[in-house]
Amino acid sequence: MNKLMSLIFLVLMFACGGSSSSQNTGSTSVPKTYGVFRTLKSTSSKPLASVVKDAATSVATSSTMSIPRAYHRSIQMLNGKILIVGGDLINDQIPSGGYTVSGFIVKGTMDIFDPSTETFTPSNAQLSHVRAYQYMNGTVYESFALVNLPDGKVAIIGNRCSGVSGPTPNDAYEVYDSTTDTVESRTLLDWTGKPGITLEAVDAAYYIGKGQIIIFASNSGQYILDTSTNILTTMANPIYEGFGAVGGASSIQTPNGDVYLIGGTFNNTVTTSIIGRYSISDGSWAIVGHLNTPRDGANLVLLPGNRIGIYGGRNFSSFWNYTPLTSVEIFNCSTNTLVTSVDLVGPRFGATVSYLQTGYTMIAGGTSAKISGGGMPSPQTSQLVHNADLNYSGSTGDMVVARVNASSVALSNGLVLITGGTGVDNSMSNTGEIFDPKAALYMGYQSETIVMGTTMQFSAKDSSGNSVTPTWTVDDQTIATIDSNGVLTPVAPGIVTVTATSGANTAVARITVIPAQ
């Protein structure tokens, strides 16, 4: 990694506070501002459609994505840039009468976002197997996942079921190489090494070491994919055994590599409260708890102290009838205990979630209205924030554009990128915007993921852009160490919190260490 040339400065610690609509039940001091949303910088006056790429020249950039997107995916790659995948329809709009199969040809285009310039560059690569939507019994599912691999490439895993116009292969996954801007298609093989195995809708996937990826698929179960052999192994599914098909469960990976599967809906009718854990150490599933409020489509975020924040979601009776939730629950993975925190100041479903390195969680966009009888969700512009340690809920200022089913990434410069989604007229958006928390201390680093055997240089600046020399610490030296010059060295796979302290100001960032193979 080129540490000096690719540092991005991370806005982290700020004096925060609630608006008149916020509530604070656990803190004597209320922060004063959460920051602001703003539009992206514009560095190109040419529309992307008129730009012809030339290998001998720079690729033109834009402050908008190459096409409108919703239900898409985005991930920060090891080089610090953001890969934005899928979510595009050939007619660029969801019909006002609801989701239908007829007339949709789902494509697989990609954009690259550069945080240092705040611009998008369209990828030359065109995906052939991954799609934005999954149609099952009239239900729309997000149908693919992105996973960083140790070599800097990104695995793109998922498909769409039959019945949608266009290419239909379901028997492959794809790997994107940012150095060449190309995609390699890899055929899925069964345990005997023969082709013919397929995947249904993929909700999430995580790298678990030794070239393996664990995959969660709606309505069909869990799998292990070996990226060295392309063999896909079906796992036993004791969590949901006997309940039938499950969709809408939320998942997250914790510092020790374990993966949690939370909530969901059985057979499109019954919302569950199950909290299941896949143990990396023994390769088995177990039910480790139950939510106080059953929910589908909750937003999850990893909190300090080996905890999972569980925000909103919906009480699901059918795809066209549900109620967004305000409730927040915090699950402690070390003790398998659950506590109910203060509610969000408004219900949210179809939102995105980002953990701000200030200790607050931001729940962006989504819908708050109850859906009954087939109505379309009404997107929100207001954003909600929550602090589990303060037992505090509040709201930020409005987004520039109302969005539901958008995508967000907490950038390694402390800002949050929010892209796409559907708006008030149900049309998909090609725009993005930035949430800036207006920090007092900036931490600089390359990526929120680091590979064993490499190092990463951290730096710090104050709010005026002046370099400062903070005190560097990590919360777990069995995962990584950091020296007085800000050089982070991985020790073992896991998630480590890096803290910079300069006077009264503190900045924190979570870094995921993945195996070298």
Using an 8 Å Cβ cutoff, are 376 and 361 in contact? no
In terms of domains, do 458 and 415 share one? no
Full domain range(s) for residue 505: 441-514
Residue 11 lies in a domain: no
pLDDT of residue 33: 52
> The domain spanning residue 490 has which CATH number?
2.60.40.1080
Q: Is the pLDDT of residue 480 over 50?
A: yes
> The domain spanning residue 155 has which CATH number?
2.120.10.80
* pLDDT tens for each residue of 74-114: 999 999 999 999 876 543 344 443 334 444 445 578 999 99
pLDDT of residue 15: 29
In terms of domains, do 372 and 500 share one? no
In terms of domains, do 459 and 316 share one? no
Number of domains making up the chain: 2
Q: How does residue 341 score in pLDDT terms, banded at 50, 70 and 90? A: very high
Q: How does residue 123 score in pLDDT terms, banded at 50, 70 and 90? A: very high
- What CA–CA distance (Å, rounded) separates 95 from 62? 28
Phi and psi angles of residue 50, each rounded to the nearest 5 degrees, phi first? -95, 0
In terms of domains, do 432 and 445 share one? no
Give the residue from 411, 436, 461 where a domain finishes.
436
Give the residue from 372, 404, 436 where a domain finishes.
436
- What CA–CA distance (Å, rounded) separates 30 from 255? 30
Angular region, 414: left φ>0, alpha ψ -120 to 50, beta rest:
left
In terms of domains, do 347 and 466 share one? no
Residue 489 lies in a domain: yes
- What CA–CA distance (Å, rounded) separates 41 from 49? 19
Residue 12 lies in a domain: no
**Of the listed ranges 115-119, 244-248, 343-347, 383-387, the one predicted with least confidence:** 244-248
Residue given tokens 């079921």 in the structure block: 161
Distances (CA, A) of 377 to 11, 137, 195, 371: 33, 19, 40, 7
If one counts every other C-beta atom within 10 angstroms of the C-beta of residue 60, the result is 19
In terms of domains, do 353 and 447 share one? no
Both tokens assigned to 199? 């995947």
Q: How does residue 419 score in pLDDT terms, banded at 50, 70 and 90? A: very high
* pLDDT tens for each residue of 269-324: 778 898 989 888 888 888 899 999 999 889 999 998 899 999 999 887 665 677 88
The pLDDT mean for the chain works out to 77
pTM: 0.82
Among 418, 410, 417, residue whose Cα is nearest residue 449: 410
Residue given tokens 């693919």 in the structure block: 144
Using an 8 Å Cβ cutoff, are 454 and 490 in contact? yes
- What CA–CA distance (Å, rounded) separates 403 from 252? 23
In terms of domains, do 390 and 475 share one? no
Return the C-alpha torsion angle 291, 294, 297, 302, nearest 10.
Answer: -10
In terms of domains, do 391 and 408 share one? yes
Give the residue from 386, 410, 436 where a domain finishes.
436
